[in-house]
Amino acid sequence: MRLATWTGTLLVVALLTLSTGPSLANQEDPYAPLKRFSQVLDLVETNYVREVPREELINGAIRGLLQDLDPHSMFMDPEDFQEMQISTSGEFGGIGIEISIKDGRLMVITPIEDTPAYEAGLQAGDLILEIDGQSTQDITLLEAVKKIRGPKGTKVKLTILHNLEDSKPETLAISRATIPILDAKSEILESGYLYLRLTRFNENTTREMRAAIKQAEKQTPIKGVILDLRNNPGGLLDQAVSVADSFLAKGNIVYIQGREENSRKDFDAHASSSDVEAPMVVLINAGSASASEIVAGALQDHNRALLVGERTFGKATVQTVIPLSDGSGIKLTTALYYTPSGRSIQAEGISPDLIYPFEQPREKDERGKVMRERDLSGHIETNNGVEHEKKSEITDKAKELLARDNQLRMALQLVKKLPDLSQIKGSAN
């Protein structure tokens, strides 16, 4: 008991020493906080229950410092820093999921299309409660990434809550795969109507998108474009600017503003012979974040495209990646970005011009099939009908995309009726 009393007394004395208000001299000393930190560091090194290397303590302090700023500022040790560089330029072993920390919870921003996470049914907004049986409470973003990524063929178990009102979490065992960084996909939906799907904004996004446009132009003149930014978590600022520039001939695309008044930087569009001038519809949802919102906001503000879908995620902060001398690095929020009209959509998101929620596709049911004349046995064919079929012939892939996606079907109908989007929008204002 005497030993316990003595130990408790030492703890109280130490706490009183740390909690005592600063003296008048300390209030005028800019280095007082650093002295306090040094004092705590010395106490931990001397009295903590186990020995901890000083480098580990310092890294933990830096990590905590940045983590308390906002959800996107973070410290990366050399291994984490290398992983970050891979995720924007190469490929990695994982399940294909973008995650973030929101209100202390690990949340799915979006599953990447055609990856194990996407096939397993993970959705934007899902909460990850456990990783391999371990709670994600108070987990850092980088710790979560480390736990979820791994060699191809291995499995990770995620306990998922699909809806806050759902009291029954679901545990999914998902096999990891090599996740390639494929940013742009395309499909001709009907003759002249191009569907462009951007899954993220990495180093090759604009190049891949423009190659897809060029390939489509070889097949048929482009009469309309559907740009799909749903579940696109964003990425590199310069790629967002160059993607938007592909559809704008002039004007501001985005500007960023740091803490100083003179730190504003504008990014403008430039006319090019390769600019796409066809009418556009842009699909967005709650998984559209960051760079996706830059593109959507620019096209909306310039009346260049009609936005269809649901309100976006609302991330309007700019992070600067700063390497440190030992191979580690930090990602620091250094500015906010604004759409051309001066909107900051931070924590608000971009509202579409037409709110049109996604509906899960129904399984095919012959009993509910709508019968038309062409379905009747022995119906009369005409030359006009045959010519029409040839003219509107589409691939099986396009048919499947349209059959399973009500938002895409609506976008196709709209883009076909927008020969001059600016006039239509102008008359509505």
What is the distance between the alpha carbons of residues 157 and 188, in angstroms, rounded to a whole number? 38
Return the number of other C-beta atoms located less than 10 Å from residue 382's C-beta: 8
Tokens in use for 318? 């700019």
Q: Which residues pair with 92 in a beta bridge?
A: 179
Task: Give the active site residues.
Answer: 290, 301, 315
3-state DSSP assignment of residue 264: coil
Strands 193-198 and 184-190: antiparallel
Strands 306-309 and 280-284: parallel
Give helix 205-219 / helix 237-245 axis angle, nearest 10°: 20
What is the distance between the alpha carbons of residues 59 and 140, in angstroms, rounded to a whole number? 14
Identify whether the C-beta of residue 233 lies closer than 8 Å to the C-beta of residue 109: yes
Chain centroid offset of residue 7 CA:
50
Residue 321 amino acid letter: V
Number of H helices, E strands in the chain: 14, 19
What is the distance between the alpha carbons of residues 253 and 234, in angstroms, rounded to a whole number? 16
Where does 113-249 show beta strands of DSSP type E?
Answer: 127-131, 134-135, 155-161, 170-175, 177-180, 184-190, 193-198, 224-228
H helix runs in 20-77, sequence order:
24-27, 32-47, 54-67
Select from 270, 263, 261 the least CA-distant residue to 318.
Answer: 263
What is the distance between the alpha carbons of residues 205 and 18, in angstroms, rounded to a whole number? 52
Q: Which residues pair with 228 in a beta bridge?
A: 197, 283
Tokens in use for 122? 């993970």
Alpha-carbon dihedral 27, 30, 32, 35, rounded to 10 degrees? -170
Select from 104, 167, 176, 170 the least CA-distant residue to 141.
Answer: 104
